[in-house]
Amino acid sequence: MTVKFQQISIGGRFEFRGRRYCKVALSMAHDEDRCGNIFQDHTDVVPERSAATTDDLARRANVLRA
């Protein structure tokens, strides 16, 4: 399952081209070696299973409101 980079919350972890990253700003992430990388919002990435995306958080909030 892929999502757009913009859907990953800051602090979320994801994989891109076989490397793992942690999102640290709106368009920046650190890789495993703590090197900064710039990502465009529409880049497809694979979120870690434990990482919640903004869509997941919105769905959870709607369920709690109901």
pLDDT value at residue 59:
64
Higher per-residue confidence, 4 vs 66:
4
Q: What is the pLDDT of residue 5?
A: 97
Residue 54 · residue 26 · CB < 8 Å: no
Q: Is 32's pLDDT higher than 60?
A: yes
Structure-token match 């995306």, residue found: 53
pTM exceeds 0.75? no
The reported pLDDT for the residue numbered 25 is 95
**Which residues, 6+ apart, have CB-to-CB distance to 26 below 8 Å?**
6, 10
pLDDT tier for residue 51 given thresholds of 50, 70 and 90: very low
Q: How many CB atoms lie within 10 A of CB 47?
A: 21
* Residue 32: its H or E element: none
